[in-house]
């Protein structure tokens, strides 16, 4: 067992970890180690936008998690992709640039007592690392590392759906990221000239690779956090002083210097697993597995939230969709040639091209539904496309009230944790599921789509009652890969302390020193949209806090 010492240890080279490594290694006086369980992002399908089809479910790039059988899904289990490579989920996700709504961040500020989480405070942080195709304005930045571009293709069927949505009362929008994302339009994507733009490209290379104070270990899984009593607290509170890392060739130990920090950015699943393996979590569960609890924190692994998308499929006539465009060798060859020559066409596609945000009922004070509309259909992700032309209108409840858990199954780091999202476990979520399917039908019935003669293939027009639609939602719905909340931030001290908060408003782990969690797990409530770019914003704020603490000698 060898040992190395650094000022900062960052666990996870995904969305948050890549930005943190960039910001913290910018100080040449600080040695930074970035540790990634997966390999380098040198697999060609990572960089071709449609390559998510080959990265999800691939052990080279995906942790291959599965959920537990879920009562809300009528006993089904789901594939639960999480990125296992440099760039993390930004290397395998849908590339959609989405911040959420202003109310999301104002709610975080209220829950944490920290005004710097308010929308007007986080907007400049989003802009700080942004490179928006339209340039800088009041809502967007230019010149940063995180590239946002228009998509490089359009579809007649999606244009017609957008017109139908407007006929159903949803306004058109050209920008979902101004604080209220209500409207219908094509998503903007994290791409550059038709290639996926992941956080490894944006923040690690070439910048970090050229810094002598930066070191990176790939194919190295953190297995246990190391703690010692912190004499500076006066109460013997544990301080995180390092971690053990399994490299495949043996166990390595990495430590931080006095005053340094360990930053856990392994994601909503991985960070929970490492904390629980290290004795931090619900004590009774840890004891049942033979793990001696260091801290009884019941919130570690609780509060799991995710966006469940209900995939309604409609057969169409008189237009081509990806189903039939790609169902022959000649069709596939044409698609490949188009991408090779112009970096456009179906190979440049995000999984969903058209988006819409609207309200499940007229009395809703804010948009609570998001549509991902696709010019294709299939029985389940990873299955072949249908042999007929069709589009899919996937709709999700942006603010679900169902809550799930993540729990380790054993003391072995090799064993995947048990993931139980508990989808559709509240009456409100079941009611909104039924309402959203009815709204989908109302949009599709508008005149703009009539020339394509849409026919409901799934769930089927024979299902009409709330009970039937909620049950059918459980049959056809799937995750949209947005797990958050499992190490939520909140008030951790004083009379208003939240017993389930895991980190404070500056992401410091409750009850210890020297350790922060910086990933989507800290979100107390899920953002109203895709979660990748909000995670970058969280990391940007954390980097500033970490640098400030070092400057102050804390």
State CA 449 to chain mean position distance.
Answer: 32
Q: CA end-to-end span of the chain, whole Å? A: 30
44 catalytic? Reply is no
Residues 6+ apart with CB under 8 A from 379: 386
Residues 6+ apart with CB under 8 A from 217: 33, 34, 35, 36, 245, 247, 252
Residues 6+ apart with CB under 8 A from 521: 267, 268, 271, 272, 484, 485, 486, 487, 488, 502
- Using the CB atoms, write b or e for 352-382: b if 16+ within 10 Å: bbbbbbbbbeeeeebbbbbbbbbbbbbeebe
Concatenate the DSSP letters of all residues of 383-407 into one string.
SPBPSS-EEEEEEEESS----BEEE
Report how far apart, in Å, the C-alpha atoms of 368 and of each of 300, 364, 470, 530, 532 are. Answer: 27, 8, 17, 13, 19
Report how far apart, in Å, the C-alpha atoms of 108 and of each of 113, 121, 491, 517, 526 are. Answer: 8, 12, 11, 16, 10
Whose CA is closest to 69, among 397, 418, 446? Answer: 418
Q: How far apart are CA 536 and CA 554, in angstroms?
A: 24
Measured torsion, CA atoms of residues 428, 429, 432, 437, in degrees rounded to the nearest 10: -150
Residues 6+ apart with CB under 8 A from 341: none
Q: How far apart are CA 159 and CA 155, in angstroms?
A: 6
Catalytic residue among 132, 307, 372, 482: 482
- Determine which helix (DSSP H) or strand (DSSP E) holds 312, and give its type and residue range: strand 308-315
Number of CB atoms found within 10 A of residue 206's CB: 8
Residues serving a catalytic function are 482
């Amino acid at each position: 067992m060898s040992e190395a010492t650094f000022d900062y240890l960052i666990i996870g080279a995904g969305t948050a970890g890549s930005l943190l490594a960039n910001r913290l290694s910018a100080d040449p006086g600080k040695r930074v180690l970035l540790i990634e369980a997966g390999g380098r992002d040198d697999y060609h399908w990572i960089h071709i936008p449609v390559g998510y089809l080959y990265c999800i479910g691939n052990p080279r790039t995906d942790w291959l998690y599965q959920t537990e059988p879920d009562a809300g899904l009528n006993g089904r289990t789901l594939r639960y992709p999480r990125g296992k490579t440099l760039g993390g989920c930004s290397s395998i996700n849908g590339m959609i640039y989405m911040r959420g709504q202003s109310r999301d961040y104002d709610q975080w500020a209220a829950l944490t007592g920290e005004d710097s989480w308010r929308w007007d405070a986080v907007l400049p942080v989003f802009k700080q690392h942004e490179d928006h195709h339209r340039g800088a304005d009041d809502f967007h930045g230019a010149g940063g590392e995180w590239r946002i571009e228009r998509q490089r293709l359009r579809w007649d069927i999606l244009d017609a759906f957008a017109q139908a949505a407007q006929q159903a009362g949803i306004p058109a929008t050209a920008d979902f990221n101004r604080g209220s994302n209500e409207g219908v339009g094509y998503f903007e994507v994290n791409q550059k000239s038709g290639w996926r733009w992941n956080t490894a490209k944006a923040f690690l290379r070439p910048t970090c690779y050229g810094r002598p104070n930066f070191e990176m270990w790939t194919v190295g899984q953190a297995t246990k956090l190391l703690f010692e009593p912190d004499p500076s607290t006066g109460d013997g509170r544990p301080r995180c002083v390092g971690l053990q890392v399994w490299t495949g060739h043996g166990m390595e130990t990495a430590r931080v210097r006095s005053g340094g920090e360990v930053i856990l950015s392994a994601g909503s699943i991985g960070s929970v697993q490492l904390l629980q393996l290290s004795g931090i979590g619900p004590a009774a569960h840890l004891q049942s597995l033979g793990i001696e609890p260091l801290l009884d924190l019941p919130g570690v692994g609780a509060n799991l939230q995710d966006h469940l998308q209900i995939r309604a499929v409609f057969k169409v006539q008189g237009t081509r969709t990806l189903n039939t465009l790609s169902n022959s060798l000649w069709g596939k060859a044409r698609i490949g040639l188009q991408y090779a020559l112009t970096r456009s066409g179906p190979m440049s596609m995000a999984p969903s091209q058209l988006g819409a945000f609207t309200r499940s009922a007229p009395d809703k004070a804010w948009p609570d539904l998001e549509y991902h509309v696709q010019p294709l259909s299939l029985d389940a992700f990873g299955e072949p496309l249908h042999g007929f032309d069709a589009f899919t209108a996937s709709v999700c409840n942006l603010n679900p009230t169902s809550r799930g858990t993540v729990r380790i199954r054993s003391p072995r780091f090799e064993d995947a944790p048990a993931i139980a999202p508990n989808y559709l476990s509240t009456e409100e979520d079941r009611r909104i599921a039924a309402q959203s399917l009815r709204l989908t039908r109302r949009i599709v019935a508008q005149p703009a789509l009539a020339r394509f003669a849409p026919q409901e293939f799934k769930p089927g027009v024979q299902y009409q009652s709330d009970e039937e639609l909620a049950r059918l939602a459980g049959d056809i719905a799937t995750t949209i890969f947005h797990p958050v909340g499992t190490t939520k931030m909140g008030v951790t001290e004083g009379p208003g302390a939240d017993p389930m908060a895991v980190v404070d408003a500056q992401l410091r782990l409750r009850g210890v020193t020297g350790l922060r969690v910086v990933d989507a797990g800290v979100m107390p409530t899920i953002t109203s949209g895709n979660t990748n770019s909000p995670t970058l914003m969280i990391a940007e704020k954390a980097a500033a806090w970490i640098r400030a603490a070092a400057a102050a000698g804390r």
